Amino acid sequence: MAGNEWINGYLEAILDSGGGAGAIEEHKPAPSMNLRETGDFNPTRYFVEEVVTGVDETDLHRTWIKVVATRNTRERSSRLENMCWRIWHLTRKKKQLEWEELQRSANRRWERELGRRDATEDMSEDLSEGEKGDGLGDLVQSETPRKRFQRNLSNLEVWSDDKKEKKLYIVLVSLHGLVRGDNMELGRDSDTGGQVKYVVELARALARMPGVYRVDLLTRQISSAEVDWSYGEPTEMLTAGPEDDGGNEVGESSGAYIVRIPFGPRDKYILKELLWPYIQEFVDGALTHILNMSKALGEQIGGGQPVWPYVIHGHYADAGDSAALLSGALNVPMVLTGHSLGRNKLEQLLKQGRQSKEDINSTYKIMRRIEGEELSLDAAELVITSTRQEIDEQWGLYDGFDVKLERVLRARARRGVNCHGRYMPRMVVIPPGMDFSSVVVQEEAPEVDGELATLISSVDDSSPKAIPAIWSEVMRFLTNPHKPMILALSRPDPKKNITTLLKAFGECRPLRELANLTLIMGNRDDIDGMTGGNASVLTTVLKMIDKYDLYGLVAYPKHHRQADVPEIYRLAAKTKGVFINPALVEPFGLTLIEAAAHGLPMVATKNGGPVDIHRALNNGLLVDPHDQQAIADALLKLVSEKNLWSDCRNNGWKNIHLFSWPEHCRTYLTRVAACRMRHPQWQTDTPRG
């Protein structure tokens, strides 16, 4: 088409000028005017050069106005051509800018990748020490060095019997709650629960390890009429130390002891939230005890030289704060276990939406607690957690810890690269053990009616099968005790979310018809005598039982002893029931491994440690604790689908052995031995061990 010949001319000019759609064109200088003078002037080429070099879009519109106003056809056509080219040029220029930006961002990404590769090399260099694995689901891959799953703990020497000639002195600190070795009053109040059980069992297990001479568990001396006299005893032996191989006595101080230090109002048992002002007083008392004990041990086993603590291990924010001070004063490595973390609790309570941050702080002194946790992180060489999730999603909330940065810092320190003063503690997953002595040997899944009915109907004192007293205590609430029992067992703390469980049960007719609900909520004489949060939970529970008319379907006994707990699990298992932990957040969940050991499948909160326990045991279902329907559905599924129930029961039994205190202690000592040595008595070239 003749009219469009000019387009061909321009295209040729583009090709000549090296331009082409998408090509990146070198910027060409404008043709000098001498082209005109020399007669080689080519208007098309001129325009192309003119457009490519000179114009921009700002006056494009003015040009358009001129073109529209031009009468002369030829002139108008020329101007139109010019405009087309300018539009084309600007489009190409825009594309060029975009391409250059793409190039720049690709370069930036490549640089970041290079950096990441560096960091990953650092980490993997570090990970080769067995830090891989994402939690209890990899428990078989966890720090606990088990034969079949021996980790590549490259530069760590696993603690073994050849350490038996060492005579280590270990100090554990757990300040709050009622701490004693036997008949613990777990669940009596919000401060006496899993941590108390954990530290007592840890102290006993450590004292039984080769090379450990003495373990002191420091706590608060409570001489109050409100509590049993045993909590006022200055010292309580938990276990005597092991005989040494030669059968010789190992000294009267060997073994594990609770040592009670007086601090705070002498005649009062006060809540953990009110202990913060007295931490320094505890530290003073603890320091005096440790100095005296180190001297005494020095006389016994140290050849006259003081035997300083091998490690000071704080449990929970308050004891972590204290251990940090003691560690600094004694120049002894500090280890921390959180048990339950303030930032996580705050997050979940805010999500529940019942209290403002100010109210939460007023009730729980949560900001002082978080400050104690941050101080502990700064001082700790090592943080022992129960699950991988606790590291990633709970400690990861803290200023003093970042998963990736910690590994990079450690790798840099190992390579002698400056860390600019940044330091973070190592995190290691060592799941707690449990005391299996209370677990009855695995029985075949009994026929419910056959076994339990026989037991109940023949009960009398003479009967060889007299049922445990606690069974009667529970069953007296129930119209039909043969129905599958849904069991919840926890301190009656608001964060345990018992009321949502009760609502789910009360509003689910099939569940009410198919199962009973048993709530073990600590021990109580009088609800009015309970602390605030616990009293409100109990009051709400009673009101909800009335509201939903759950009489005969829900058991809520006032008292039980520690020795009753295994029997309670057994009763629920005999009815083919289910254990539930609906907590808003559960850092670990000792009750879940206890229930599994007793053959009970679980329904548990998906917030916290239960995720990793489930991955290790595969013995139940996880739920959103804020979703009442999900809780009801999961319970209904497990109590109604008998094959699923049996599979979960057997899965729990299959792997529960992974939660063993001896294995825990072996890993514990292996990791502590690798901490930075600080004290002259440990002055050796290699990590202590």
Ligand X SMILES: O=P(O)(O)OC[C@H]1O[C@](O)(CO)[C@@H](O)[C@@H]1O
Interacting residues toward ligand UPG by CB under 6 A: 186-187, 193-195, 197-198, 339-340, 489-491, 520-522, 562, 565, 586-591, 594, 609
Q: How far apart are CA 295 and CA 286, in angstroms?
A: 14
Q: Pick between residue 440 and residue 453 the one whose CB is nearest to ligand UPG.
A: 440
Evaluate whether 224 touches 558 at the Cβ level (below 8 Å): no
Q: Pick between residue 256 and residue 583 the one whose CB is nearest to ligand X.
A: 583
Q: Which does 483 bind (CB under 5 to 8 A by kind): ligand UPG, ligand X, none?
A: none
Q: Are strands 255-261 and 235-240 parallel, antiparallel or unpaired?
A: antiparallel
Q: Pick between residue 455 and residue 501 the one whose CB is nearest to ligand X.
A: 501
Strand order of the sheet with strand 255-261? 235-240, 255-261, 212-220, 168-173, 311-315, 334-337, 382-385, 426-429
Structure token pair of residue 566: 């295994």
Q: Pick between residue 255 and residue 533 the one whose CB is nearest to ligand UPG.
A: 533
Q: How far apart are CA 196 and CA 178, in angstroms?
A: 7
Neighbours of 469 (CB within 10 A): 12
Q: Which does 522 bind (CB under 5 to 8 A by kind): ligand X, ligand UPG, none?
A: ligand UPG
Neighbours of 114 (CB within 10 A): 10
Q: How far apart are CA 401 and CA 424, in angstroms?
A: 6
Q: Pick between residue 179 and residue 474 the one whose CB is nearest to ligand X.
A: 179
Question: 578 has which bridge partners?
Answer: 486
Evaluate whether 113 touches 122 at the Cβ level (below 8 Å): no
Q: Which does 506 bind (CB under 5 to 8 A by kind): ligand X, ligand UPG, none?
A: none
Q: How far apart are CA 595 and CA 590, in angstroms?
A: 9
The nearest distance, CB 496 to ligand X, in angstroms, is 8
Contacts of 122 (CB under 8 A, 6+ apart): 407, 408, 410, 411, 412, 415
Q: Pick between residue 345 and residue 512 the one whose CB is nearest to ligand X.
A: 345
Evaluate whether 623 touches 631 at the Cβ level (below 8 Å): yes
Q: How far apart are CA 7 and CA 338, in angstroms?
A: 77
Q: Which does 589 bind (CB under 5 to 8 A by kind): ligand X, ligand UPG, none?
A: ligand UPG
Residue 390, judged by CB atoms within 10 A of its CB (0-12, 13-18, 19+), counts as buried
The nearest distance, CB 200 to ligand X, in angstroms, is 11
Q: Pick between residue 347 and residue 392 the one whose CB is nearest to ligand X.
A: 347
Q: Which does 272 bind (CB under 5 to 8 A by kind): ligand UPG, ligand X, none?
A: ligand X
Q: Which does 177 bind (CB under 5 to 8 A by kind): ligand X, ligand UPG, none?
A: ligand X
The nearest distance, CB 560 to ligand UPG, in angstroms, is 7
Q: Which does 187 bind (CB under 5 to 8 A by kind): ligand X, ligand UPG, none?
A: ligand UPG
The nearest distance, CB 199 to ligand UPG, in angstroms, is 9
The nearest distance, CB 339 to ligand UPG, in angstroms, is 4
The nearest distance, CB 559 to ligand X, in angstroms, is 19
Q: How far apart are CA 353 and CA 348, in angstroms?
A: 9
The nearest distance, CB 385 to ligand X, in angstroms, is 13
Q: Which does 79 bind (CB under 5 to 8 A by kind): ligand X, ligand UPG, none?
A: none
Rg of the chain (C-alpha set): 36
Helix or strand (DSSP H, E) at 650: helix 642-655
Interacting residues toward ligand X by CB under 6 A: 176-177, 191-196, 272, 316, 339-340, 345, 493, 495
- Dihedral sign (CA 6, 7, 8, 13): positive
The nearest distance, CB 139 to ligand X, in angstroms, is 21
The nearest distance, CB 193 to ligand X, in angstroms, is 3
Evaluate whether 659 touches 674 at the Cβ level (below 8 Å): no
Q: Pick between residue 408 and residue 502 the one whose CB is nearest to ligand UPG.
A: 502
Q: Which does 599 bind (CB under 5 to 8 A by kind): ligand X, ligand UPG, none?
A: none
Q: Which does 495 bind (CB under 5 to 8 A by kind): ligand X, ligand UPG, none?
A: ligand X
Q: How far apart are CA 565 and CA 567, in angstroms?
A: 5
Q: Pick between residue 383 and residue 409 the one whose CB is nearest to ligand UPG.
A: 383
Evaluate whether 84 touches 4 at the Cβ level (below 8 Å): no
The nearest distance, CB 540 to ligand X, in angstroms, is 17
Question: Measuring CA to CA, which residue among 275, 277, 240, 372 is closest to residue 315?
Answer: 372
Q: Pick between residue 194 and residue 241 the one whose CB is nearest to ligand UPG.
A: 194
Q: Which does 591 bind (CB under 5 to 8 A by kind): ligand X, ligand UPG, none?
A: ligand UPG
The nearest distance, CB 465 to ligand UPG, in angstroms, is 25
Q: Which does 191 bind (CB under 5 to 8 A by kind): ligand UPG, ligand X, none?
A: ligand X
Q: Pick between residue 86 and residue 339 the one whose CB is nearest to ligand X.
A: 339
Q: Which does 192 bind (CB under 5 to 8 A by kind): ligand X, ligand UPG, none?
A: ligand X
Q: Pick between residue 221 and residue 490 the one whose CB is nearest to ligand UPG.
A: 490
The nearest distance, CB 493 to ligand UPG, in angstroms, is 7
The nearest distance, CB 495 to ligand X, in angstroms, is 5
- What are the CA-CA distances from residue 637 to residues 90, 169, 483, 642, 643 (Å)? 66, 50, 15, 9, 11
Q: Pick between residue 340 and residue 651 the one whose CB is nearest to ligand UPG.
A: 340
Q: How far apart are CA 334 and CA 286, in angstroms?
A: 15
Distance separating the N- and C-terminal Cα atoms of the chain: 93
